[in-house]
């Protein structure tokens, strides 16, 4: 499925946008990427559609990026770049703490 989308959207450049807008009338894939507000609206609508018990926003992806990337043992400078943080960002560090509540918890080996 992902391969079909990449082919249809002409996604051959790994630095290009993964999500592109569709033309209002013709529903063809357009150049450029979705703006941040539209991306956030899509994430929020999908969260409602999935009947999640919490409200998802575009920010949910940003937090998930930081947490998942750190779990995969990426360096902070690698994590910071796509999230728009500086390497020693306190906000990015706060996401790690939230995500590491169980993985890096002092009582894990005690229980």
Report how far residue 9's alpha carbon sits from residue 95's, in angstroms, rounded to the nearest whole number: 33
Residue 70 near residue 82 (C-beta atoms within 8 A)? no
Please write the tens of the pLDDT for every residue from 73-86: 899 999 998 888 99
- Indicate the average pLDDT of the chain: 80
Confidence bin at 49 (pLDDT 50/70/90): very high
Mean pLDDT confidence for 12-38: 78
Q: How confident is the model at residue 111 (pLDDT cuts 50, 70, 90)?
A: low
């Amino acid at each position: 499925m992902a391969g079909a989308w990449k082919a249809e959207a002409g996604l051959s450049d790994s630095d290009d946008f993964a999500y592109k807008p569709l033309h209002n009338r013709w529903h063809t894939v357009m150049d450029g990427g979705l703006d941040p507000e539209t991306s956030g609206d899509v994430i929020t609508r999908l969260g409602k559609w999935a009947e999640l018990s919490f409200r998802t926003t575009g920010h949910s992806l940003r937090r998930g990026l930081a947490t998942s990337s750190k779990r995969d043992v990426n360096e902070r400078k690698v994590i910071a770049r796509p999230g728009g943080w500086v390497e020693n960002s306190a906000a990015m560090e706060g996401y790690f703490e939230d995500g590491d509540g169980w993985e890096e918890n002092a009582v894990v080996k005690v229980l």
